[in-house]
Amino acid sequence: MKHIGKIILSMAFCTCLLCGCGNQSGSNDGINKEHISESETTSSKKNTFYPSGTTEKERFYLNNAASDFIPFEVSFDKNYSNLACKLYELKDGKWNNLEQVNIHLNGDTFWFLVSRYLTNAEIRYKNVNPKSSYMELENGMSFQSVEPSFGAHGVMMYSDMTRETEVESRKEFPVIANIISKNIDNSLTVDIDIFDHPENIDQKENEAYYVLTFTFF
């Protein structure tokens, strides 16, 4: 039944992305979530990873079929066979690799759905191959759930994403960045660039930072 549910969600993902795709607000499990807003992004560049532009209707379907996911896409001028996805947590001013999942790729154009919030990170993907049916969808990959040391109840979660990244073989780049905080601070934000400059992060008590990265090869 779980497998059938995933297929149905994946088909919904495929249907909405045939036209375009995500944004939602809300909270659950005692977590207040401050959402970022995606611009209507389009790009015809090869080897560029970027958020997919979406319409209001497509966002509705995406948010109901796959809550708190952000759609991305990329088209290469050569085939990649593997994607390494790593989840990091900031510890003592350095990024600690919590887990890595590997996705086997076949082709040069891909669609992705990536969790906006990384405490329950998941990646769904599709190889957009004109020789195959659009209903032939690959399975998603999930990371183990993570929770900051101060717990996940009554916290604020902030998220940022890459806007446009030029992909190079074996070059790691951040896709999603999160900060989770129990501190009441309306000025608190997170920037995707924190992955490259962890030394600039002023991490306070009851704050946790997470980053999800991709490496194509």
Q: For 170-197, what is each residue's pLDDT tens digit?
A: 999 999 999 999 988 888 899 999 999 9
Flag whether pLDDT at 3 surpasses 50. Answer: no
Flag whether pLDDT at 51 surpasses 80. Answer: yes
Q: Residue 83's beta-bridge partner residues? A: 103, 216
Q: Residue 87's beta-bridge partner residues? A: 99, 212
Distance CA 83, CA 93 (A): 26
DSSP state of 188: -
Q: Which residues contact 152 (CB under 8 A, 6 or more apart)?
A: 29, 30, 31, 119, 180
More confident residue, 137 or 153: 153
Among 19-28, 47-56, 157-166, 183-192, which stretch is predicted with the lowest mean pLDDT? 19-28
pLDDT reported for residue 198 = 96
DSSP one-letter string for 41-73 = -----TTEEEEPP--HHHHHHHHHHSTTEEEEE
Instruction: Work out the percent of the chain whose per-residue pLDDT is above 70.
Output: 70
Q: Angle at which helices 2-19 and 56-65 pack, to 10 degrees? A: 170
For residue range 80-112, list pLDDT tens digits in order: 899 999 999 999 999 999 999 999 988 889 989
Flag whether pLDDT at 4 surpasses 70. Answer: no
Instruction: Work out the percent of the chain whose per-residue pLDDT is above 90.
Output: 51
Q: Are strands 31-34 and 156-161 parallel, antiparallel or unpaired?
A: parallel
